[in-house]
Amino acid sequence: MSLIVQKFGGSSVANAERVMNVASIVTDTYAKGNDVVVVVSAQGDTTDDLIEKANEINPKASKREKDMLLAAGEQISISLLAMAIEKLGYHAVSLLGWQAGFNTTSAHTSARIRKVEPDRIKKELDKKNIVIVAGFQGISKYGDITTLGRGGSDTSAVAIAAAMHADLCQIFTDVEGVYTADPRKVKNAKKLQEISYDEMLELATLGAQVLNNRSVEMAKKYNIELEVLSSMTKASGTIVKEKTKMEKMLISGVIADMIMFAELGIKADGAFIETVHIRHAGEIHCRAVFQNEVVVQVGRNSGAIGFHKKSFLLYRWSSVYKNQTGRDVDLRRNKSHTPVSVRVVYAGGSGDRTGIVFLV
Ligand code: ADP
Ligand code: ASP
Ligand code: MG
């Protein structure tokens, strides 16, 4: 028997049919003999709608009151999911953040988790209940309801997994995993089988909201392996963990204010295949031809290219960037250049802006 934490985002519980779908995923896991703790977000656009409601009344409302309002979104989801699970003939109990032991700082609207005291969750599991916890929320030392910032339910799930030493933490969402680019914006984005914490952190920081960046930081800190997968299909997802097949991928540097994009054209034989244009202030600065898989996604925060190790390629590249404004350079023509395998991953977000570069 394992302890499994399953987190479902807003789109996964957006309407009654989807809530029933989640109930069946959860009860299937339970029926296999596992203890299951479920973390859910507010339904669909509920959080945005609540923010709008607050703004209609008082755009300058105190953050304490905003938290009180926003936490309501997750309360709706947990109770509906518990009802759906009951309907399928299983026992479930829903818990708000404070009931589940989420102690946070008092920084309303962006509180940090201080500790999770999962006694109540444990008691409910002992009673053979499926436990459903409201993501995104907790309680401050003053006894006030807090929220963790947008996308915070991912962090709630990882925090429970860490506090309870869960065997598995699954993040169910509306895409089949982590892609080399936002699959809704880049049509040939590829699903990654696995990705390291550092890569994922960089992606999340650059705007790939598929995982909240604080959740990735926490997963790395407590070494919680995450599986990102779809709640709508049964396809295998992406594993986020410390070591991936592509090792030595630590990001060692960041260049600010660089804007880049890639033209995808990967050939099956993996020869020189990719043309990456690097742009700054709208002009192409250099055209580098890399080896192996290169995919770049644009991010919403402009300017940051991270790379792993100093290499001739990077040196050339950055010197081209600095010195030869406007000129195209084909790095293959330089005999002293040792080809390195490069994997460029665009972060999510909008607009042709930023990429991060992983040298392996
Ligand atoms: P949830 O409601 O399940 O928390 P989110 O909307 O927060 O889901 O995150 C999932 C969305 O993240 C996807 O619908 C997708 O458009 C977006 N996204 C951005 N970048 C990526 C990426 N690199 N891989 C996967 N999804 C991404
Ligand atoms: N409902 C919250 C939000 O929309 C938390 C989350 O979805 O993770 O940001
Ligand atoms: Mg999310």
CB neighbour burial string for 12-44, b if at least 16 within 10 angstroms, e if fewer? bbbeeebbbbbbebbbebbeeebbbbbbbbbbb
Q: Which of 175, 178, 229, 354 to mutate to test the pocket of ligand 1 (most atoms within 8 A of CB)?
A: 175
User: Rounded mean pLDDT of 298-309?
Assistant: 30
pLDDT tens digits for range 230-270: 999 999 999 999 976 543 332 222 222 233 333 323 222 32
The 10 Å Cβ neighbour count of residue 131 is 27
Strand 194-196 and strand 238-241: the pairing is parallel
Is 113 a residue whose pLDDT tops 50? Answer: yes
Measured between alpha carbons, how far is 272 from 280 in angstroms, rounded to an integer? 24
- What is the model's pTM? 0.76
Strand segments, DSSP code E, in the chain are 3-8, 35-40, 92-95, 102-104, 113-116, 130-134, 137-139, 145-147, 168-173, 194-196, 226-230, 238-241, 253-255, 259-263, 272-280, 283-291, 305-307, 342-346, 355-359
Average pLDDT over residues 87-104: 98
Both tokens of 258, joined, read 């660089």
Q: Nearest bound ligand to CA 71?
A: 2
Instruction: Tell the residue nearest (CA) to atom 6 of ligand 2.
Output: 151
Look at 54-58, 250-254, 355-359 and tell me which has the smallest mean pLDDT. Answer: 250-254
Distance CA 281, CA 300 (A): 15
Ramachandran sector of residue 136 (left: φ over 0; alpha: ψ -120 to 50; beta: rest): left
pLDDT band at 192 (very low <50, low <70, confident <90, very high): confident
Torsion of CA 243, 245, 247, 250, to 10 degrees: -60
State which of 74, 153, 212, 218 you would mutate to test the pocket of ligand 2, scoring each by most atoms of that ligand within 8 A of its C-beta: 153
Q: Which ligand is nearest to the CA of 9?
A: 1
Q: Given pLDDT bands bounded at 50, 70 and 90, which one contains residue 99?
A: very high
**Ligand 2 site, residue 238, Cβ cutoff 6 A:** no
Q: How do residues 68-77 score in pLDDT, each as one tens digit?
A: 999 999 999 9
**Residue burial 80-113, b: 16+ Cβ < 10 Å; e: rest:** bbbebbeeeebebbbbbbbbbbbbbebebbbbeb
* Ligand 3 geometric centre to CA of 215 (Å): 10
Q: Is 136 in the pocket of ligand 1 (CB under 6 A)?
A: no
State residue 143's pLDDT score. Answer: 98
pLDDT digits (tens, 9 = 90+) for 194-229: 988 988 887 787 667 899 999 999 999 999 999 999
Q: How far is residue 124 from each of residues 23, 119, 164, measured CA to CA in Å?
A: 18, 9, 13
